[in-house]
């Protein structure tokens, strides 16, 4: 994207954006988080399963609707890889229940973070086969309840423990194998933190047109002090978020832009400060 195009890009509003509850550090009850997010003018929320533990999902769904929010996504799957068949079958059962909860929430998608190498394994090819088998097993159930599955590739630094799915190209190829007839119900989540480095990212986003289910934003800090918990507020790092936003919009993504920041530093801020700064930065840096 040229500087002229970038400067002409329409500014976002908070109403077009969603807050992933991880951005607030899971420090408050979900009801309080819903109220805060709505008060700051966001249009949506993306809760994690841990935020709903001990709560009736339908009651939470009603509170979200009553606050005027939509649910941009539900995070996230139990890892699909495992050292034993019993472990993998348990993961499928947990994910089936989570998919049903996503349907009760009215979520736009259920985000799949697929898992890395099983304990004691160095067989990355087998881990990838386990992922494909697990997604295939979940897909029909997801279709039956009307919740698309969003494959989220992670940065390659997580291949060993969190996700052996490490590029948009790989995620798209998996979608095409499991949904070769284009029935739907399976797509991708584009997280800026995980894909910004890929020299083919714009091409892969175009290739994902029709399968783009989620777009997550934060920033990559220099230096990064922790590989998991040192993401940056948009505009504080090196990701060209406006270019990525332009790419997903040109690929016909029209969902909410979801702010998802894992940061021990930011989690020390007051929640009101976090949300007000997020409003400011989506308007200026995205």
- Percentage of the chain lying above the pLDDT 70 cut: 97
- C-alpha span between 58 and 217 (Å, rounded): 28
Question: How many secondary structure helices (H) and strands (E) does the chain include?
Answer: 11, 8
Q: Are 62 and 98 in contact (CB under 8 A)?
A: no
Q: CA-based Rg of the chain, rounded to a whole angstrom?
A: 18
Domain total in the chain: 1
Whether the CB-CB separation of 17 and 40 falls below 8 Å is answered with no
pTM of the complete model beyond 0.75: yes
State the pLDDT at residue 9: 83
User: How far apart are alpha carbons 259 and 244 in whole angstroms?
Assistant: 14
55: left (phi over 0), alpha (psi -120 to 50) or beta: beta
Phi/psi for 209 (5° steps) reads -55, 130
Strand arrangement, sheet containing 212-217: 70-71, 44-46, 17-20, 257-259, 212-217, 186-191, 149-151, 110-112
Predicted pLDDT at 2: 42
Give the residue numbers spanning the domain of 196.
3-284
In the numeric block, which tokens belong to residue 26? 């899971």
Q: Which residues of the chain have pLDDT under 50?
A: 1-7
Task: Give the single-character DSSP code of 74.
Answer: B
Whether residue 18 contacts residue 256, with contact meaning beta carbons closer than 8 Å, is answered with yes
pLDDT digits (tens, 9 = 90+) for 190-238: 999 999 999 999 999 999 999 999 999 999 999 999 999 999 999 999 9
> The tokens of 31 are what?
């009801």
Q: What is the pLDDT of residue 8?
A: 63
Q: Give me the half-sphere count of Cα atoms (radius 13 Å) on the Cβ side of residue 191.
A: 25
Cα separation of 17 and 38, whole Å?
Answer: 11
The C-alpha atoms of residue 64 and residue 57 are separated, in whole angstroms, by 11
Indicate which CATH number applies to the domain containing 81.
3.20.20.150
């Amino acid at each position: 994207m040229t500087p002229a195009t970038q400067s002409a890009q329409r500014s976002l509003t908070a109403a077009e954006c969603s807050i992933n509850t991880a951005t607030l550090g899971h420090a408050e009850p979900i009801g309080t988080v819903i109220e805060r997010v709505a008060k700051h003018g966001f249009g949506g929320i993306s809760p994690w399963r841990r935020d709903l533990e001990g709560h009736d999902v339908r009651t939470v769904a009603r509170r979200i609707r009553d606050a005027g929010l939509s649910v941009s996504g539900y995070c996230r799957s139990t890892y699909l890889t495992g050292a034993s068949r019993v472990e993998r079958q348990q993961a499928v059962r947990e994910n089936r229940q989570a998919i049903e909860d996503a349907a009760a929430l009215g979520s736009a998608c259920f985000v799949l973070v697929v898992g890395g190498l099983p304990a004691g394994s160095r067989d990355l090819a087998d881990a990838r086969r386990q992922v494909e088998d697990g997604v295939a097993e979940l897909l029909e159930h997801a279709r039956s309840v009307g919740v698309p599955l969003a494959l989220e590739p992670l940065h390659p630094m997580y291949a060993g423990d969190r996700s052996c799915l490490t590029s948009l190209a790989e995620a798209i190829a998996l979608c095409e194998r499991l949904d070769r007839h284009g029935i739907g119900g399976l797509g991708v989540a584009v997280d800026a933190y995980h894909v910004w480095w890929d020299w083919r990212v714009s091409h892969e986003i175009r290739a994902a047109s029709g399968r783009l289910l989620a777009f997550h934003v934060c920033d990559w800090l220099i230096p990064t002090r922790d590989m998991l918990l040192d993401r940056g507020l948009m505009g504080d790092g090196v990701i060209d978020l406006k270019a990525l936003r332009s790419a997903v919009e040109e690929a016909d993504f029209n969902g909410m832009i979801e702010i998802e920041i894992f940061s021990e530093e930011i989690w020390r801020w007051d929640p009101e400060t976090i949300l007000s700064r997020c409003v400011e930065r989506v308007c200026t840096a995205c």
